[in-house]
Amino acid sequence: MAKPITEYRIGDEIWRHVDGSGTFRYIVDGIRTYPEGAMLEVECQTCSHGWKCRVLLAKNDDGRIHAVHMLNDDEDGEQRIWHTNEGLHFWPTKAEARDEGLRMLVRRQRERVTSLDNQLDAARKRLASLEAAIGSEESK
Res 19: pLDDT? 83
Q: Which residues of the chain have pLDDT under 50?
A: none
Integer Cα distance of 106 and 98 in angstroms: 12
Could you report the per-residue pLDDT of 79-117, keeping only the tens digit for each? 655 676 677 899 999 999 999 999 999 999 999 999 999
Res 79: pLDDT? 62
Integer Cα distance of 68 and 55 in angstroms: 7
Res 121: pLDDT? 96
- Any idea how long the chain is? 140
